[in-house]
Amino acid sequence: MNRKKEALLKAVKSIWNSLPILIGMVLLISLAKTCIPTKTITSLFTDNQIIGPVTGSILGSIFAGNPITSYIVGGELLKQGVGLITVTAFLLAWVTVGIVQLPAEAILLGKKFAFTRNAVAFLLSIAGALLTAGLVSVI
């Protein structure tokens, strides 16, 4: 029973110590989302089948977001004329890769893990966009 209590106290202390980092990360993401207009973001995208997914993944990695708002952002980007493959790459990277969160993630989980996870997520966002667009075109 004593070991369980120690583990619980250690977990609570760890969460408490990481709280300032997490709050700072959320505030920084909110600030970026508020300060950058939608038209500026849509002008950065291209509909090229090769460059589009890479551009979308790069921008998604920079502008981090959450899954709930991705439906709204994705719909607005599609309405602005951004291609499906680019929007898909953007949203996948937007939710899974985070340049803004990378310092916090490196502190909390370790540098090697943070960089590896983000690199793999970046590559998978491009692959996922290509696969999604390919499947949608078949249907």
The pLDDT tens digits of the residues spanning 25-82 come to 677 767 767 787 767 766 778 777 888 999 999 989 988 777 777 777 888 788 888 8
Residue 99 pLDDT exceeds 80: yes
pLDDT > 90 fraction of the chain, expressed in percent and rounded: 32
Find all residues with CB under 8 Å of 45, minimum gap 6, and list them: 52, 55, 56, 59, 77, 82, 83, 86, 90
Question: pTM here?
Answer: 0.71
Domain span at residue 90 reads: 2-138
Q: 């998978």: which residue's tokens?
A: 124
Count, residues in the chain: 139
Total domains, the chain: 1
